[in-house]
C-alpha cells in the first residue's frame, strides 16, 4: 500500500512538473493584463506575431486615404475619375444605362468613359476628384467608412460598394492596394494575407474590358516588385461569387476554371453578399459544386455562413457544400448539432468581432459566441473582414478579444497558428509559415519575459478611429 501511495505521489509530482512551463507562461501574461495600461496592452498586441488574416475583402479592407491617393495616381495610366457631389433632380435620370444605380447617392464614382455618357444635367452633378474642395474631399473619404452611429448594415450593403463603383474596376488600383495591405499588416506582425478579390469586369481607360487573365498578370507584376517582397508577407487571393445573382451557378463554373489556371495566386473561392437574401441560400449551389468536383481537383472553399440574425442551418449547409472554413458563423451557436460536428476541426470559423458589432449582428460583445466556440474546441482565428470601412486593423481585433473575453496567452498563440494551419496556401509554404510563426512567438515572449516593457521601446503602434470611439484609446494615426 505504501508503495502505491509513493507511486501516486510521484505521478502527481511528475504531472505538476510537466505543467509548470505552461503555468509559468500563463502567469506572466496574466500579470501583464492585470497591470498594463490600455496603451501598453495595445502596444504589446500590435507588436505580437499574429500569423495570418484569412477573411479580408480587399475593396472594403483598405483605408480611404490609400484609395484616394491610388485613384488620383491613375492619371498616369490615362484614367480620370469623377464623383457625385450634388443632386440636380435631373429630368432624365434613370433613362440612361446608369439608371440602375441609386440616384440619391452622393460620392458615387465614375471613370471618364462612363461620365462622358451622361447627359448635361447629370454631368453637372459630378466633379473630378482632383477638383474637390477640402470639404468635399473629406466627404468622399468618409463616404466609404462606417463612421457614424446611425450607419449600419443597410449603409454597408446598400451604399459602400455602389459608391466605389468604377473605382472597383481598376486593376492597377487594387494591385497597389494589395501591397499597401502587405506593408500595413506586416508592420503589425502578420506573415500571411488571403484577400478576397476578383479579376472580372476590370475596365481600361476607354471603357473596354480587360480579359481576367490579363488582370492577374497585372497583380503578379505588382507583387513581384521589390517593395512588395520587402514586406515579408505572403499573399494569396480568393475569388468571390455574389451568391444571390440569378446566374450565380454559371458564374461559379467560370470561377472554377479561372482558379484552376491561376493556382499560383488564387487559392480558393468564396461566396459573398447578404446572407439574409435567401436567393443565395447555400444548398442552391450543391448540384453545381458536385458537377464541378468531377472535373477539378482541390479547389478550396471558404464561404460566408451564419452572418445572420435568425437561427438557421446555413453553417451546416455550407459545410455540405465542401467549405473548410466558415466566415463569421455568428448564428452557429443556435445549431448545436453542427457545433458538435465542428469541435476539434477539421473546420475553422473566421471570427470578425468588429464587423459583427458594427453591422449589428450583435448589439454588444456580451452576445458574441466567439468565446464559446474558442473554449469548447471549435478552431477559430481572428480576421478583419472590411477593416477600411471599420477604420480599424488586426491589432484592434486582438485588443477587443483580450479586453472583452480575457484571452490567455495559450489561446492567443493557438489562434495565430490556426490562421496559418487553415490557410489555403500551398503546403510547403504553409509549413514554412508555421515554423517561422512558432519561432517568432517564442522569441517575442522570451524577450518580453527577459526585458519587460523595454523590449517594446522601438514599437510605434498604429490605430484608427474604431478603438478611439469604442474604448477611448486614441493613438497616433498614420496613413
CB atoms within 10 A of CB 425: 20
**Is the pLDDT at 326 greater than 70, yes or no?**
yes
Q: What is the pLDDT of residue 18?
A: 41
DSSP secondary structure string for all residues of 349-396:
EEE-HHHHHHTTS-SSGGG--HHHHHHHT--EEE--BSHHHHT--HHH
Q: What is the pLDDT of residue 3?
A: 45
Q: How far apart are CA 190 and CA 171, in angstroms?
A: 24
Q: What is the pLDDT of residue 75?
A: 96
| 7 against 407, higher pLDDT | 407
Phi then psi for 452, rounded to 5 degrees? Answer: 65, -145
Average pLDDT over residues 27-31: 95
User: Which band of pLDDT confidence, cut at 50, 70 and 90, is reported for residue 253?
Assistant: very high
In 47-122, the DSSP E strands lie at 51-57, 81-84, 109-111
**Is the pLDDT at 84 greater than 60, yes or no?**
yes
User: Which band of pLDDT confidence, cut at 50, 70 and 90, is reported for residue 59?
Assistant: very high
Q: What is the pLDDT of residue 16?
A: 39
For residue 417, with 0-12 CB atoms within 10 Å meaning exposed, 13-18 middle and 19 or more buried, which class applies?
Answer: middle
- Residue 22 in grid coordinates: 505552461
Average pLDDT over residues 456-478: 90
Q: What is the pLDDT of residue 6?
A: 41
Q: What is the pLDDT of residue 294?
A: 97
Phi then psi for 234, rounded to 5 degrees? Answer: -90, 130
**Is the pLDDT at 471 greater than 70, yes or no?**
yes
User: Which band of pLDDT confidence, cut at 50, 70 and 90, is reported for residue 149?
Assistant: confident
**Is the pLDDT at 13 greater than 50, yes or no?**
no
Task: State the DSSP code for 209.
Answer: B
Lowest mean pLDDT across 101-105, 132-136, 168-172, 220-224:
101-105
**Is the pLDDT at 15 greater than 90, yes or no?**
no
Lowest mean pLDDT across 73-77, 155-159, 247-251, 415-419:
155-159
Between the two ends of the chain, the Cα-to-Cα distance in Å is: 71
What percentage of the chain reaches a pLDDT higher than 90? 85
| 21 against 140, higher pLDDT | 140
Q: How far apart are CA 179 and CA 284, in angstroms?
A: 36
User: Which band of pLDDT confidence, cut at 50, 70 and 90, is reported for residue 207?
Assistant: very high
Work out the mean pLDDT of the chain and round it to a whole number: 92
Class of domain 45-63+170-444: alpha beta
Residues of the chain with CATH 3.20.20.140: 45-63+170-444
Is residue 373 within 8 A of residue 338, CB to CB? The reply is: no
User: Which band of pLDDT confidence, cut at 50, 70 and 90, is reported for residue 24?
Assistant: low
Average pLDDT over residues 69-77: 97
Q: Which secondary-structure segment (H or E) carries 293?
A: none
Q: What is the pLDDT of residue 475?
A: 87
pLDDT in tens, 352-392: 999 999 999 999 999 999 999 999 999 999 999 999 999 99
Is residue 412 within 8 A of residue 398, CB to CB? The reply is: yes
Q: What is the pLDDT of residue 102?
A: 81
Closest CA to 467 of 390, 371, 388: 390
User: Which band of pLDDT confidence, cut at 50, 70 and 90, is reported for residue 408?
Assistant: very high
Average pLDDT over residues 116-124: 95
Average pLDDT over residues 95-105: 64
| 476 against 205, higher pLDDT | 205
- Residue 450 in grid coordinates: 527577459
Q: What is the pLDDT of residue 100?
A: 55
**Is the pLDDT at 5 greater than 70, yes or no?**
no
User: Which band of pLDDT confidence, cut at 50, 70 and 90, is reported for residue 158?
Assistant: confident
pLDDT in tens, 165-185: 999 999 999 999 999 999 999
**Is the pLDDT at 17 greater than 70, yes or no?**
no
For residue 204, with 0-12 CB atoms within 10 Å meaning exposed, 13-18 middle and 19 or more buried, which class applies?
Answer: middle
pLDDT in tens, 263-272: 999 999 999 9
What percentage of the chain reaches a pLDDT higher than 70? 92
Amino acid at each position: 500500500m505504501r508503495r502505491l501511495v509513493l507511486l501516486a505521489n510521484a505521478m502527481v509530482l511528475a504531472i505538476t512538473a510537466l505543467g509548470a512551463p505552461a503555468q509559468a507562461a500563463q502567469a506572466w501574461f496574466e500579470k501583464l493584463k492585470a497591470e498594463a495600461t490600455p496603451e501598453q496592452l495595445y502596444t504589446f498586441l500590435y507588436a505580437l506575431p499574429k500569423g495570418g488574416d484569412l477573411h479580408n475583402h480587399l475593396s472594403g479592407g483598405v483605408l480611404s486615404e490609400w484609395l484616394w491617393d491610388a485613384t488620383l495616381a491613375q492619371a498616369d495610366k490615362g484614367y480620370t475619375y469623377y464623383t457625385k457631389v450634388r443632386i440636380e433632380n435631373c429630368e432624365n435620370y434613370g433613362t440612361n444605362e446608369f439608371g440602375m444605380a441609386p440616384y440619391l447617392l452622393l460620392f458615387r464614382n465614375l471613370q471618364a468613359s462612363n461620365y462622358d455618357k451622361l447627359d448635361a444635367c447629370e454631368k453637372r452633378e459630378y466633379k473630378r476628384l482632383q477638383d474637390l474642395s477640402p470639404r468635399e474631399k473629406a466627404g468622399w473619404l468618409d463616404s466609404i467608412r462606417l463612421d457614424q452611429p446611425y450607419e449600419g448594415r443597410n449603409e454597408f450593403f446598400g451604399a459602400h460598394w455602389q459608391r466605389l463603383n468604377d473605382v472597383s474596376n481598376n486593376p492597377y488600383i487594387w494591385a497597389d492596394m494589395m501591397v499597401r495591405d502587405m506593408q500595413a499588416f506586416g508592420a503589425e506582425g502578420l506573415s500571411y494575407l488571403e484577400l478576397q478579390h476578383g479579376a472580372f469586369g476590370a475596365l481600361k481607360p476607354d471603357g473596354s474590358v480587360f480579359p481576367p487573365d490579363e488582370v492577374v498578370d497585372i497583380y503578379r507584376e505588382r507583387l513581384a516588385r521589390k517593395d512588395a517582397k520587402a514586406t515579408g508577407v505572403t499573399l494569396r487571393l480568393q475569388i468571390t461569387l455574389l451568391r444571390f445573382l440569378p446566374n450565380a451557378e454559371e458564374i461559379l463554373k467560370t470561377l472554377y476554371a479561372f482558379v484552376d489556371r491561376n493556382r499560383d495566386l488564387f487559392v480558393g473561392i468564396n461566396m459573398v453578399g447578404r446572407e439574409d437574401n435567401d436567393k443565395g441560400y447555400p444548398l442552391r449551389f450543391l448540384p453545381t459544386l458536385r458537377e464541378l468536383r468531377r472535373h477539378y481537383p482541390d479547389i478550396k472553399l471558404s464561404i460566408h455562413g451564419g452572418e445572420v440574425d435568425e437561427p438557421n442551418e446555413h453553417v451546416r449547409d455550407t459545410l455540405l457544400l465542401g467549405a473548410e472554413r466558415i466566415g463569421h458563423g455568428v448564428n452557429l451557436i443556435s445549431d448545436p448539432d453542427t457545433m458538435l460536428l465542428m469541435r476539434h476541426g477539421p473546420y475553422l470559423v473566421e471570427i470578425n468581432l468588429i464587423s459583427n458589432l458594427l453591422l449589428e449582428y450583435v448589439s454588444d460583445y456580451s452576445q458574441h459566441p466567439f468565446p464559446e466556440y474558442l473554449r469548447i474546441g471549435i478552431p477559430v482565428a481572428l480576421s478583419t473582414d472590411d477593416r477600411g470601412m471599420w477604420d480599424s486593423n488586426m491589432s484592434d481585433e486582438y485588443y477587443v478579444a483580450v479586453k472583452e473575453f480575457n484571452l490567455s496567452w495559450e489561446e492567443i498563440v493557438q489562434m495565430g497558428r490556426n490562421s496559418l494551419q487553415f490557410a489555403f496556401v500551398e503546403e510547403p509554404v504553409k509549413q514554412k509559415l508555421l515554423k517561422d510563426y512558432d519561432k517568432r512567438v517564442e522569441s517575442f515572449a522570451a524577450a518580453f519575459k527577459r526585458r519587460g516593457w523595454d523590449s517594446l521601446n522601438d514599437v510605434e503602434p498604429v490605430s484608427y478611429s474604431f478603438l478611439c470611439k469604442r474604448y477611448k484609446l486614441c493613438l497616433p494615426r498614420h496613413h
